[in-house]
Chain A
Amino acid sequence: MVLQYLTEAVFTVLSPLNLLVLTLAVGSGLIMGMLPGLSATMAIALLTGLTYNFPTQTALISLLGVYVGSISGGCQSAILLNIPGTPASAATAMDGFPMAKKGDGGHAIFIATTASMLGTLLSVIFVLTLTPFLTSMALKFASWEFFLLSIFGIMICGALTSAGNALKGWISGILGLLVAMIGLDTVDTFARFSFGNVNLMSNIQLIPVMIGLFGFPEIVRAFKKENEGSPIKVSKFQPKRGFRSVFHNWLAIIRSSLIGVMVGIIPGVGEDTGGWLSYWASKSQSKNPESFGEGNELGVISAEAGNNACIGGALIPVLSLAVPGSAPAAVLLAAFLMHGYRPGPLLMTESPSFIYSVSIYIIAASLAMWLLAMIIARGTVRILGIKKKLLMPIIFLLCVIGSYLINYNRFDVKVMFVFGLIGLALSSADFPAAPFLLGVILGPMADSNLRRGLRLSDGSFLPMFQRPICIFFLIIIIGMIFTQLGVFSKLKKARS
C-alpha cells in the first residue's frame, strides 16, 4: 500500500503541469528567500492565496516547493553580502561571508546549496519513519524545558561567535533578550519599555532587526576611502571542488541533519535555531575550531544542512499533531486546512496517502531547488564584482523594502536604521551580532515559558531542577560557563 502511495505521488509530481508549477514555485521561493525581508513565512502566505483555485495536489506541490526554495535561497545573500535572506541563514553568514571575501563565494554557495538539498532529503526519511517516536519525545517539552532551551541556544551562540571572548557574546545575547521584552508581554499583555508608543507596543519585528544588525554595518563600512574604486574580488564557481568538499564532510551533514530534524520537531523553535545548533556541534567537534568564523566551509555546510533539515522536522508535528514546528510550518498548516486536509492524529485514517505525497513532493522540491539555485548562483556570484560604492546604496534600498514589507509599516524602516546603528557600534567593538538576533528570536519563548512555569509551581524554581530534560540542559549550560571561564583548565593546572 505504501509503495502504491509513493508511486502515485511520483507520477503526480512528474506530470508536465506539476513540474512547471514546481519549477516556478521553487524559483520564486529561492528569489524571495534571497531578498531580506521576504521570509519563508511570507512566501508561503503569499502563495497560499494564489493556490486557492489550484487542483489540490498541484497546490501542495507549489506550497512545499516555495517552502524549500525560500529556506534554501537565504544562503546566497548571507554568503555574498553578509545579509541573511531569512533568519534561517544567519549561521551560514558566519563562515560564508568570510569565504566570499576571500574570493570563494561561488564555492560557498555551491556547498551551501548542496548541503541544503541533502539536509532536506535526509529530513524526509525522518518524516516517513520516525514521526511517531519523535513526536512523543517532543511532547515531553513543557515550559521549563522551553525556557532552558532558549537560554541554552543563546549561550551557545554567544560562546561560538565571540572569537574567544564569550563575555561579549553573552552580553550581546542579553541585549537581544531585552529587545524582545519591548511591547505587550504574551502572558498578561502588560506594555513594557514602549513609552506609550503604539508601534513599540506591538513588539519589535524580527526582520528589521536582522537586516539592521547584519546588513547596515557592511553597507556603512563600504563608504570608507580604502574601498574607493576597488570592486570586491569576483568569486569562483567550482562544482568539482564543491562535490569533493561535501563528500569529505558527509558525517557533518548527517549530524547536522539529525540536529535539524530534532529542532524542527520541537514546536516554536525554528530553522534559525537548527542552523545555529548544527554549526555549534560541528565547531565543537572540529580539530580546528578557531578557523570557524574565518571562512571554514564546514561551518557553511553544517548550518545549511541543519536549517534545511528543519523543514522535514517541522512538518512532523504538523502532520501528526497539527502543531507547527516553525512559523513557515504554521502557515503551511493553514494552507493544508484550506485545501481540505486535516492534519493531526486522524490524518492517517482520513487521508492515508497524504504523508507519502508530502514526502515525495519535498524530495522533488529539494532536487529542483538544487538545480535552480545552481543556475541562479552563476549570476548572483557576479554581484561581488560590482564596485562596492555603487552596490551598497542599492543594497540599502532593498533593506528598506525588506523592513517595510513585514507589516507595510514605515516604523519598521526606522527600526531597521536604529538597529543598524546598534549593529555598527557592536561590531566596531567586536561584539557578535548573532547572539543578539537569537535573543530577539527566543526572548518571547524564554519569557512566556519561564513565567508560565513559575505560575504552575506557585513561584517556585524547584521544578527546573527536578525534570530530567531540564537537568540535562542545566548541566550543559553550567559546563559551558565553566569551560568559557577557564575553570576546567585552571583545575587541570592546579592538579599538575
Chain B
Amino acid sequence: MDSKQKDFTISLVLVALGIYTTIEGIRIYIKASKAPYNIDSFAISPGLLPTILGALLLILSLVLMTKSLKNGNFLIRIKQLLTWAREAVFDSDIRMMVGGMVIMGIYAFLLIGLIPYYLSSAVYLASLMLFLRASSFLKTILVAIITIALVILLFQTGFNVSLP
C-alpha cells in the first residue's frame, strides 16, 4: 500500500472518529446541563474540550483525506483499498503478524486470570515461539520455563510484587 493510500485509509477512520467525538461532546454538554450537574454554560461544560478536539480532528482528517486524493478520486481509492485487503489475506508476513497477535490476544484477554500465572505465561511463550518457529521444540520449552522462573524470581521475590 502506497503512502497516499495509507493516508486515505486512516483518514476514513479519523473522519468517523471526529464526527463521533464532536457529537458525543455536544451530548456530554446536554447531559451536564441537567441535574445533578446543572452546568448551563458550554464554556465550563465537561463537553467543551471533547467538542473542540472532535471538530479539530474532523477538520485535520478532512485535510489529510483531500491531500491523499490528489492522484485519484474517492471511488478509485476505495477500490484500491479492497484490492489490497484481498491480497493481504495471502501475504505471508501479514499472516505471521496476525497469527502472533491472536496468540498474544488470547494470552492477554483470556489466559491471564483463568489459569495460574506461571502456567498461562509458559503456554503463551511456548506457543508463540513455536508458531514463529523461533527455535527447536526442546529449546523453546526450555526457554519458556527458564524465562517464567526468572520473571517470578525477579518480580515476586526481588521486588515483592504480585503477578497477575
The answer to whether A and B assemble together is: yes
Chain A positions near chain B (C-beta within 8 angstroms)? 32, 38, 46, 167-168, 170-171, 174-175, 177-178, 181, 185, 187-188, 190, 192-193, 219-221, 223-226, 228, 387, 389-390, 393-394, 396-398, 400-401, 404-405, 408, 410, 413-414, 416-417, 421, 425-426, 428-431, 446-447, 450-451, 454-455, 459-460
Pairwise interchain contact B37-A188, C-beta atoms closer than 8 A: yes
A130 to chain B, nearest CB (A): 35
Q: Which of A178, A401, A425, A447 contacts B155 (CB 8 A)?
A: A401
Pairwise interchain contact A396-B46, C-beta atoms closer than 8 A: no
Pairwise interchain contact B28-A394, C-beta atoms closer than 8 A: no
Q: Which of B39, B63, B124, B132 contacts A397 (CB 8 A)?
A: B124
Known: A46-B159, A175-B17, A390-B129. 15 other contacts (CB 8 A): A38-B159, A171-B61, A174-B53, A178-B54, A188-B32, A225-B92, A390-B134, A393-B129, A394-B125, A396-B104, A400-B164, A410-B164, A426-B10, A429-B7, A429-B10
Count B-side interface residues using an 8 Å CB cutoff: 64
Closest to B100 in A: A223
Residue numbers in A under 8 Å from B7 (CB-CB): 429
A425 to chain B, nearest CB (A): 7
Pairwise interchain contact B49-A220, C-beta atoms closer than 8 A: no
A413 to B151 alpha-carbon distance, docked (Å): 17
A450 to B135 alpha-carbon distance, docked (Å): 55
Q: A181-B53, A459-B41 are in contact. Are A417 and B105 (CB under 8 A)?
A: yes
Residue numbers in B under 8 Å from A225 (CB-CB): 92-93, 96
Residue numbers in A under 8 Å from B160 (CB-CB): 46
Closest to A388 in B: B134
Among A167, A185, A421, A429, chain B packs the most CB atoms within 10 A around the CB of: A429
Pairwise interchain contact B135-A390, C-beta atoms closer than 8 A: yes
Interface string of B98-141 (1 = CB under 8 A from A): 01110011011100110000000100110011001111000000
A421 to B64 alpha-carbon distance, docked (Å): 21
Q: A221-B97, A429-B6 are in contact. Are A187 and B46 (CB under 8 A)?
A: yes
Closest to A394 in B: B147
A116 to chain B, nearest CB (A): 22
Q: Is B145 an interface residue (CB 8 A)?
A: no
Q: Is B71 an interface residue (CB 8 A)?
A: no
Q: Which of A421, A446, A459, A460 contacts B49 (CB 8 A)?
A: A446
Among B7, B43, B124, B125, chain A packs the most CB atoms within 10 A around the CB of: B43
Chain B positions near chain A (C-beta within 8 angstroms)? 3, 6-7, 9-10, 14, 17, 21, 24, 28, 31-32, 37, 39, 41, 43-44, 46-50, 53-54, 56-57, 60-61, 63-64, 67, 92-93, 96-97, 99-101, 104-105, 107-109, 112-113, 121, 124-125, 128-129, 132-135, 143, 147, 151, 155, 159-164
A332 to chain B, nearest CB (A): 19
Pairwise interchain contact A414-B108, C-beta atoms closer than 8 A: yes
A190 to B160 alpha-carbon distance, docked (Å): 36
A81 to B60 alpha-carbon distance, docked (Å): 32
Q: Which of A168, A175, A188, A425 contacts B64 (CB 8 A)?
A: A168
Pairwise interchain contact A175-B57, C-beta atoms closer than 8 A: yes
A-B contact list, 9 entries, CB within 8 Å: A46-B159, A188-B37, A221-B97, A223-B99, A223-B132, A393-B128, A429-B9, A430-B6, A451-B49
Pairwise interchain contact B100-A220, C-beta atoms closer than 8 A: yes
A389 to B96 alpha-carbon distance, docked (Å): 11
Q: Which of B132, B147, B164 contacts A389 (CB 8 A)?
A: B132
Closest to B163 in A: A401
Pairwise interchain contact A170-B60, C-beta atoms closer than 8 A: yes
A396 to B143 alpha-carbon distance, docked (Å): 15
A224 to B100 alpha-carbon distance, docked (Å): 10
Pairwise interchain contact B37-A190, C-beta atoms closer than 8 A: yes
Q: Which of B37, B64, B93, B133 contacts A226 (CB 8 A)?
A: B93
Closest to A182 in B: B50
A70 to chain B, nearest CB (A): 12
Residue numbers in B under 8 Å from A431 (CB-CB): 10
A228 to B104 alpha-carbon distance, docked (Å): 19
Pairwise interchain contact B159-A188, C-beta atoms closer than 8 A: no
Q: Which of B44, B50, B121, B147 contacts A459 (CB 8 A)?
A: B44
Residue numbers in A under 8 Å from B107 (CB-CB): 400
- Nearest 4 A/B pairs, CB to CB: A459-B43, A389-B134, A190-B46, A223-B100
Q: Which of A219, A224, A414 contacts B93 (CB 8 A)?
A: A224
Residue numbers in B under 8 Å from A168 (CB-CB): 64
Q: Which of A38, A394, A425 contacts B10 (CB 8 A)?
A: A425
Residue numbers in A under 8 Å from B64 (CB-CB): 167-168, 171
Pairwise interchain contact B49-A181, C-beta atoms closer than 8 A: yes
A410 to B163 alpha-carbon distance, docked (Å): 10
